[in-house]
Amino acid sequence: MNEEFEGVSTDLNTERGSEEVENTNPVEENPKGKEKIRKGLAIALYVFIGIIVGTSITMAICKSYVDTQMAKILQNPDGKISYLEYLIDTYFYNDVEQETLQNGAYHGIFDSLEDPYSQYFTPEEYEEYSSVVNGNFGGIGAGLQKDADTGEVVVTKVYADSPAEKGGVKEGDIIVSADGHKGVNYSLEDYVSKYLRGDEGTEVTIVIDREGEEIEITLVRDIIEVETVSYKMLDNNIGYIQISQFTGSTDKEFEKAFEDLQAQGMTSVIYDLRNNGGGIVDTATNILDYLLPKGTVMYTMDKAGNRRDYNSDASHKEIPTVVLVNGNTASSAEIFTGAIRDFKYGTIIGTQTYGKGIVQTSFKLQDGSAIKLTTNKYYTPSGECIHGQGITPDVVIEYEFLGGEDDEYAVEFDNQLQKALEVLRQ
């Protein structure tokens, strides 16, 4: 538009310049004829100017209309996304699949929440996520936690006969990278999903940091069928039940373990929830219902103030109890710990727990994709929200390995477990 006005202005100035030159000519031949010419030129000029002005006004109106419509489109989120897709499709130097753009937008929505627990899943990602929650997936066979301070990926458990165990990975190792991708740059779920899990038989090369020494290990992924409950009888008829996480089958595994130990003559019990990062809330509350007398074992509250109580019925197990916890005891494991503490059902031993006092809800969409969204805070029976602070044990004791450098783990070398045995013998 501006270019057109500039062009017209130049032409008019040139035309006027010619007139002025003619007016300075001292010779006047046939003044009437010249007068007619001048009038004709003036009329033509007025018509020309009218056409230009009319066209310019029309174009200005058109531009204003287009700008108004574009503003309306950009005010509509769907319209703006479509327009951005158009710009990328038209001008981006590489071809991009529309599905890739859309999934990127969906992931971006959840990234904007700045909540590491809320996320979008493609159908394939959700299928994999569900298999992990249910305890059956392809991977390396290691339990992992993100260090809250450093962001490092720490190995908290190595499953028996897994690729991780066969490759020499040990509890306490830090996974620096997997196929060159550094763990500190990703959320734990993204990192595990993208680089550690995978199809059976595929390889992944990890670099671990073990007490300052970096070691490169290539692992062949396998199907990992996780048994989340392990148990045994210790001296003095003290039962020991370790829960590594709360999956869909953990409550049934737990009941089987408890009843088996009871049949062996168990008179007191230790529940080891160290390095248990949580899992399914309903599974944890099912176990609490099995153990505790009648009452509210926990409750949740959403942002509107809606409360949901999780209750235990009257049937319960009367048995001296200790719960072992540490800084990696989180989420549903803290629900379990908080209920045991508030019901005064047992003694908590170890170090401050992680402090994840929020609950996520999964919503599956019709196309097979899904979202996991933080929907509630949860509260222990006494009304405490432990988010960001954790649970302080009744007996605070840092872990210390009591064996020598060449000794493998054993009950007698675990100072926290020894403290639990001491408490139960009193």
* Amino acid identity, position 262: Q
pLDDT of residue 60: 59
Ranges under pLDDT 70 in the chain: 1-75, 77
Catalytic residue among 146, 157, 356, 372: 356
Catalytic residue among 331, 332, 372, 414: 331
For 187-190, which contacts have Cβ atoms below 8 Å and span 24 or more sequence positions?
187/116, 187/119, 187/146, 188/116, 188/144, 188/145, 188/146, 188/153, 189/116, 189/119, 189/129, 190/119
Distance CA 360, CA 363 (A): 10
Catalytic residue among 173, 251, 272, 342: 342
CB 353 within 8 A of CB 327: yes
Beta-carbon neighbour count of residue 369 at 10 Å? 17
pLDDT of residue 190: 85
pLDDT of residue 181: 95
pLDDT tens, position by position, 288-298: 999 999 999 99
pLDDT of residue 303: 97
pLDDT of residue 3: 34
pLDDT of residue 57: 56
Q: What are phi and psi of 217, to 5 degrees?
A: -135, 130
pTM of the model: 0.71
pLDDT of residue 20: 35
Q: Show Cβ contacts of residue 301 under 8 Å, excluding neighbours closer than 6 positions.
A: 307, 308, 376, 377, 378, 379
Share of the chain above pLDDT 90, in %: 66
State the maximum Cα–Cα separation within the chain, in Å, rounded to a whole number.
136
pLDDT tens, position by position, 356-367: 999 999 999 999
pLDDT of residue 276: 94
| Angle in degrees, CA 411, 275, 299, rounded to 5 | 125
CA dihedral 340, 345, 347, 350 (to 10 degrees): -10
Structure-block tokens of residue 144: 């992992």
Residues composing the chain:
426
pLDDT tens, position by position, 14-29: 333 333 333 333 334 4
331 among known catalytic residues: yes
CB 82 within 8 A of CB 90: no
Parallel, antiparallel or unpaired: strands 136-139 and 222-225: antiparallel
Helical ranges in 138-222 per DSSP H: 163-166, 188-191
Q: Write down all domains in the chain, each with its CATH number in brackets.
A: 2-13+32-75 (no CATH), 78-111 (no CATH), 136-224 (2.30.42.10), 227-425 (3.90.226.10)
pLDDT of residue 191: 92
pLDDT of residue 252: 96
CB 380 within 8 A of CB 365: no
